[in-house]
Copies of this chain bind each other. A is one copy, B any other.
Amino acid sequence: MTELKWIAVDWGTTHLRVWGMNASGIPLFHVRSDQRMGALEADAFEPTLMALIKAHVPDLDRKIDVIACGRVGALKGRADMPYCAVPCQPLAGGLTKLSSDQFNLNVISGLKQTQPFDLMQGEEVQIAGYLAGDKEFDGVVCLPGLHSKWVRVSAEEVVSFQTVMTGEMFDALSDHSVLQHSLAQTGLNEELFLETVSEGMAHPARLSSRLFSLHAESLLSGLSAEDVRTRLSGLLIGMELAATKPYWLGQKIVLIGDHDLSCLYAKALTEQGCMPIMVEAEDMIRNGLIAAYGAVVKIEGV
C-alpha cells in the first residue's frame, strides 16, 4: 500500500496543503506551502502543484487523480465554479472536472446562502471531515480565520452559516491604518485580551474610536505594542462574538482552526459560558478530502 493513488489538495487564500494518498486514504507524503492564491493566474496552478510534489513523485508517468478544495475553484481565468445552496450536506455541491494537462483535476464546490447572502469555499470540506467522525453532531461549527465562518449543523447538513471577516479586518487595520506604527507583530496578553473581548461585545459601535484612542495612548502614555495588538484582536473578536451570538448561545460548539487562533476563540467563548471542543483544521481537511474522494470512487464504481 505504498503506491500513490491520488492527491489531496487544499488551496486556500493563504496557504497550499498537499497530501499524496494511497488507495486506503493513508498519506504517503504531506507538503505545505504558504503560496497565496490572490496573485496566482489559472495557468500557474498545474506547474505550482507539480513543483511541490515532484520531490516525492519524481517519475509520475500518468495523469493522476487530484481532489482539490478552497479558492482554487475561483482562480482568475478559470470558469466560475458552481455553489450549492444550503441547507444541504457539506459536499452536496459535488466535484467539477477542470481541464488539466497533467492531472485528473476535480474541484469541490463551495456552498452559498441567499438570506443573508454568504459564501464558503473550502470550509465545507473541513465540516465534512469533522462529520466523518461524528455523524450525529448537532450544533455549531466555528472556523476562525481570515474569514471566520459560523455554521449551524444538524442531521449531517449545513443548515445556515455566517461569515465574519475578522482576520481580514485585523490585517487591514494592522498594516494600513495609523495603528501600524504602534502595533507588535506577535505576542498577546491573555488577561487583557479577555477584558477587551468583553468590551468589544458590549460596545461594538466604539471599535473605530477605540482604535484611534489606542494610537493616542501609545504616543501619550507608552501603551506597549503588544497591548495594542492584544486590544485590536480583543475588540474585533468581541465584535464577532456579539454579531454571532444567535449562533453560539446555548449551543454545542466545535472549533476547527489553527491551534493558536482556535485557543483564543476557545478562551473567549469559555468566558461566555460555552464549552467549545477544539479540533485541528489540517486533520479535518484531510478527512474531508478523503470523504470527497470516496464519493467519486463510489460514483465511478457504479
- Are B204's CB and A205's CB within 8 A? yes
Residue A116 at the chain B interface, CB threshold 8 Å = yes
Residue A208 at the chain B interface, CB threshold 8 Å = yes
- Least CB separation from A238: chain B residue: B205
- Least CB separation from A113: chain B residue: B216
Contacts of A171 in B (CB 8 A): 176
- Are A208's CB and B165's CB within 8 A? yes
Shortest beta-carbon distance, A102 to chain B, in Å? 29
- Least CB separation from A13: chain B residue: B178
Shortest beta-carbon distance, A110 to chain B, in Å? 11
Residue A212 at the chain B interface, CB threshold 8 Å = yes
Residue A141 at the chain B interface, CB threshold 8 Å = no
- Are B205's CB and A163's CB within 8 A? no
- Are A212's CB and B164's CB within 8 A? yes
Contacts of A164 in B (CB 8 A): 208-209, 212
Q: Which of A113, A162, A207 has the most CB of B within 10 A?
A: A207
Chain A residues in contact with chain B, CB under 8 A? Answer: 83, 112-114, 116-119, 147, 162-166, 168-169, 171-173, 175-178, 201, 204-209, 211-217, 219-221, 236, 239-240, 242-244
- Least CB separation from A120: chain B residue: B216
Shortest beta-carbon distance, A280 to chain B, in Å? 24
The copy count of this chain in the complex is 2
Sample of 23 A–B contacts (CB below 8 Å) = A112-B216, A112-B220, A117-B220, A118-B213, A118-B216, A119-B215, A162-B209, A163-B212, A163-B216, A165-B208, A165-B209, A165-B211, A169-B208, A172-B172, A172-B177, A175-B176, A176-B176, A204-B204, A205-B243, A206-B243, A207-B243, A208-B239, A209-B240
Contacts of A118 in B (CB 8 A): 212-213, 216
- Are A208's CB and B166's CB within 8 A? yes
Alpha-carbon gap, A121 to B204, bound state (A): 27
Shortest beta-carbon distance, A82 to chain B, in Å? 11
Contacts of A178 in B (CB 8 A): 147, 165, 168
- Are B175's CB and A239's CB within 8 A? no
Asked whether A177 and B173 contact (CB < 8 A) given A220-B119, A221-B117, A243-B208, the answer is no
- Least CB separation from A241: chain B residue: B205
- Least CB separation from A74: chain B residue: B219
Shortest beta-carbon distance, A41 to chain B, in Å? 15
Alpha-carbon gap, A172 to B163, bound state (A): 19
- Are B217's CB and A117's CB within 8 A? yes
Give 12 new A-B contacts, CB below 8 A, not counting A119-B216, A209-B240: A113-B216, A114-B220, A114-B221, A118-B213, A119-B219, A119-B220, A147-B212, A168-B176, A201-B205, A204-B207, A205-B239, A209-B244
- Are B112's CB and A163's CB within 8 A? no
Shortest beta-carbon distance, A23 to chain B, in Å? 37
Contacts of A221 in B (CB 8 A): 114, 117
- Are B169's CB and A173's CB within 8 A? yes
